[in-house]
Chains A and B, each alone.
Chain A
Amino acid sequence: MTDTTEQNTEPARIRVHGLEKSFGDQKVLRGIDFESQRGTSTVLLGPSGSGKTTVLRSLNVLETPERGVIGIDDVEVDFGQLPAGKAGRRESNRLRAQSGMVFQAHNLFPHRTVLENIIEGPVVAQKRPREEAVAEAKTLLDQVGLGDRGDAYPFQLSGGQQQRVGIARALALKPRVVLFDEPTSALDPELVGEVLAVIKDLAADDWTTVIVTHEIRFAEQVADQVLFLDGGVIVERGPSAQVIGDPREERTRRFLKRILDPG
């Protein structure tokens, strides 16, 4: 939550309450609560195994939490009460449709061109007119700096370009929220910058984003709100200047020191 003095009359864009999730015997989320306002960026930090990626994937229902409530805009799902079978799937799908996802490994469809990757969701899933989707896709490609690569196959692009296509594909769905799952972790260092620049533009552009990343400097610049997770709970939260610049919790400090000063 941002600490602005501005009065928010509308409810938070993302509302997460009491999220719990286990893989087998291992409890990975032990009660996660947070909210994100419209147009803000929330960055999730934490050591591996802390549960940050599971939180992100739960927002898109790639993981189904056992308990807790997730609300995005006007869709709210109480996973403790999720009906079994078709009805439950329908609710999950409605929630999923509220967000777009950018994967660590981009997961572009290799047998489709860049343009086809982007319009697949709008045309096939959302049943929007193809011409309209193509026009929008071209605008999005311009926006991520790949206006001339629409007819290329993913394998013909660099890793950074592929990830930018992944971002355009997520945006083409016109989601309420864009989720980033370590979008630069799989990239060569020299390609990281171009992807982060695109995400920064989005954050500045009124998109609501949730980002899992290890790029602390980037997080510092882009985040309105930082959540530090460890052991399935949010250990510390606040504006980036506070959580990254002046952490209060010992665990946060240790983590940041390890990342920023690995020697």
Chain B
Amino acid sequence: MRHVLRGVVLFLLLVIVVPAQASAATARDTEQPVVRVGTEGTYPPFSFHDPRTEQLTGYDIEVIKAIAKQAGWKLEFVETQWDAIFPALDAERIDVIANQVSLNDERQAKYGLSDTYTFSHGVIVRRKGDDSIKTLADLKGKTTAQSATSNWAQVARDAGAKVEAVEGFAQAAALLAQGRVDAIVNDNIAVLDYLASTGSDDVEIAGNAGKETSEQVLAFRKTDTARIDQANKAITALQDDGTLREISEKYFKADVSVPDGGKADLSEGRGARSTWEVLRSTAWPMFVGLLKVTIPLTLVSFAIGLVLALLVALARISSYRVLSGLARAFISIIRGTPLLLQLFIVFYGLPQIGLKFNPFTAAIIAFSLNVAGYAAEVVRSAILAVPKGQWEAASTIGLNYPLTLRRIILPQATRTAVPPLSNTLLSLLKDTSLGSVVLLTELFRESQLAAAESNEFLALYAFAGLYYWIICVGLAAAQKRLETRLDRYVAK
């Protein structure tokens, strides 16, 4: 068991660390400065995955690529949900946001914003035929679904609406269609795209959200003045040579890069596909997410977590007051706080005191510590369940504490610990889906991306569930075999 675990950990570390370093090395070798672009990847037609090629594309993506070409940047895209985008910029995990960032005073004060590259206006979306909602004033006391930290959420709040936080526009639209919220405030282009690509009959545009035009910009860190200059020069050049107009017309049949470039027309949509086609094209990316992120993340976190759990359990049992007190506190904190919060502290919190980890490492740290907190109690009770006479017999034949533990106690404790630890492992496998909020493109995130583009929530999430379930069935079978093996010295 121990040897197998050790082998697995070493193997996975090799698989993960070596290519990561290799790719880091190649990135350093190139001359061009790398600029990391934060974007949702789930906000069509601005930032989404083309269902045919799986490639990230959209208006904002093409614009930032054109800017990079002008400015001589090499781009690296980081996809994350909207509410994590500004924290990612603050934590220096990304350098610029290209995701229809609306200009407002608050952002102006805190971030380094580029010149405007999109002019649009907000609209209010309601359920079809809901005449109680026509203008912003009608939103007072109603509930809207928005990305919590978006400009549109602020518009809705200012109008007196209650805001339900969601992870993207597709989710908001689904909530509205299902009657769980009363309205959405969002960019008219995003709404037109949704209506055209889904052919939805459930929702409609009620009217403009205020009279003012909204301006969209790129957001940098305030201190990043050199890049802001480069970006502004590039935007001016692209406006002058007509590139921006070209990109805009390709997506909207109108020029949104100037204040009055005509009415956007998205009636052609992006081509709706059948549920079957969506599933077929998503099955592979989801499988890759499972194989490359979900499973390695689970196994490595579990292995490290078990080692930590053993140490914590021994500290907890120890007669040194300080040691057992620390262990008790650790277990209490881990079990007393949400896993999602622990993940956010490691990923977004620690960079503020100078401890920055890449998403995979951050997730490993958070999940390992979490496993350690829970498994420590399992390991502790399994150790205590070994009869006291075993300790005594070991000490009378001259074994010291580490030898007794390793050769006599732990092999017997393993038998008791396997069933509850298997539960921990199964929970962990499923909990890795939380990795989707710290920029990890694992199995669940792949299904989210596909759902945002296609609105096939039921089929895609059920399919993702199927993947998780199959792995769990496999793990449960492995548990059974291990238990049988460990039972060989017990009277039947």
CB of A108 closer than 8 Å to a CB of B? yes
Q: Which of B396, B397, B488 contacts A62 (CB 8 A)?
A: B396
State how many angstroms separate the Cβ of A161 from the closest Cβ of chain B: 14
State how many angstroms separate the Cβ of A231 from the closest Cβ of chain B: 25
* Residues in A neighbouring B399, C-beta threshold 8 A: 120-121, 124-125
State how many angstroms separate the Cβ of A53 from the closest Cβ of chain B: 12
State how many angstroms separate the Cβ of A100 from the closest Cβ of chain B: 7
CB of A111 closer than 8 Å to a CB of B? yes
CB of B489 closer than 8 Å to a CB of A? yes
Contact with A along B380-421 (1 / 0, CB 8 A): 000000010110111111111001000110011000000000
CB of B109 closer than 8 Å to a CB of A? no
Cβ–Cβ contact B397 & A125, under 8 A: yes
Q: Which of B390, B398, B407, B490 contacts A126 (CB 8 A)?
A: B398
Cβ–Cβ contact B490 & A155, under 8 A: yes
Cβ–Cβ contact A103 & B392, under 8 A: yes
* Residues in A neighbouring B397, C-beta threshold 8 A: 100, 120-121, 125, 169, 173
CB of A109 closer than 8 Å to a CB of B? yes
Contact with B along A153-176 (1 / 0, CB 8 A): 111100000000000011001000
* Residues in B neighbouring A110, C-beta threshold 8 A: 412, 489-490
State how many angstroms separate the Cβ of B401 from the closest Cβ of chain A: 10
State how many angstroms separate the Cβ of A19 from the closest Cβ of chain B: 19
* Residues in B neighbouring A191, C-beta threshold 8 A: none
CB of B458 closer than 8 Å to a CB of A? no
Interface size class of chain A, counting residues whose CB lies under 8 Å from the partner chain? 20 to 34
CB of B25 closer than 8 Å to a CB of A? no
CB of A202 closer than 8 Å to a CB of B? no
* Residues in A neighbouring B22, C-beta threshold 8 A: none
CB of A198 closer than 8 Å to a CB of B? no
Cβ–Cβ contact B393 & A107, under 8 A: yes
Cβ–Cβ contact A101 & B396, under 8 A: yes
A181 and B266 alpha carbons, distance in the complex (Å): 90
* Residues in A neighbouring B393, C-beta threshold 8 A: 101, 103, 107-109
Max chain B CB contacts within 10 Å: which of A101, A105, A111?
A: A111
State how many angstroms separate the Cβ of A177 from the closest Cβ of chain B: 12
* Residues in B neighbouring A111, C-beta threshold 8 A: 411-412, 489
* Residues in A neighbouring B395, C-beta threshold 8 A: 62, 96
CB of B491 closer than 8 Å to a CB of A? yes
Cβ–Cβ contact B491 & A62, under 8 A: no
State how many angstroms separate the Cβ of A62 from the closest Cβ of chain B: 6
Contact with B along A58-99 (1 / 0, CB 8 A): 001010000000000000000000000000000001001101
Say yes or no: A60-B396 contact (C-beta < 8 A), given A109-B390, A110-B412: yes
A97 and B491 alpha carbons, distance in the complex (Å): 32
State how many angstroms separate the Cβ of A71 from the closest Cβ of chain B: 18
A107 and B393 alpha carbons, distance in the complex (Å): 6
A155 and B492 alpha carbons, distance in the complex (Å): 9
* Residues in B neighbouring A93, C-beta threshold 8 A: 398, 400
Chain B stretch 470-492: residues in CB contact (< 8 A) with chain A: 488-491
State how many angstroms separate the Cβ of A178 from the closest Cβ of chain B: 11
A150 and B351 alpha carbons, distance in the complex (Å): 60
* Residues in A neighbouring B394, C-beta threshold 8 A: 109
Q: Which of B396, B407, B489 contacts A153 (CB 8 A)?
A: B489
State how many angstroms separate the Cβ of A69 from the closest Cβ of chain B: 21
State how many angstroms separate the Cβ of B24 from the closest Cβ of chain A: 45
Say yes or no: A97-B411 contact (C-beta < 8 A), given A107-B392, A109-B390, A110-B489: no
A107 and B489 alpha carbons, distance in the complex (Å): 14
Cβ–Cβ contact B398 & A173, under 8 A: yes
State how many angstroms separate the Cβ of B349 from the closest Cβ of chain A: 40
* Residues in A neighbouring B390, C-beta threshold 8 A: 107, 109
* Residues in B neighbouring A126, C-beta threshold 8 A: 398
* Residues in B neighbouring A156, C-beta threshold 8 A: 491
Max chain B CB contacts within 10 Å: which of A107, A153, A169?
A: A107
Q: Which of A100, A103, A154, A169 contacts B389 (CB 8 A)?
A: A103
Max chain A CB contacts within 10 Å: which of B398, B489, B490?
A: B398
Q: Which residue of A lies closest to B412 (CB)?
A: A111
Which B residues form the contact surface with A (CB < 8 A)?
A: 387, 389-390, 392-400, 403, 407-408, 411-412, 488-491
Can you name 6 extra interface pairs (CB under 8 A) apart from A109-B393, A109-B408, A121-B399?
A105-B389, A109-B394, A110-B412, A120-B397, A124-B403, A125-B403
Closest 5 CB pairs of A and B: A125-B398, A121-B397, A107-B393, A107-B389, A155-B491
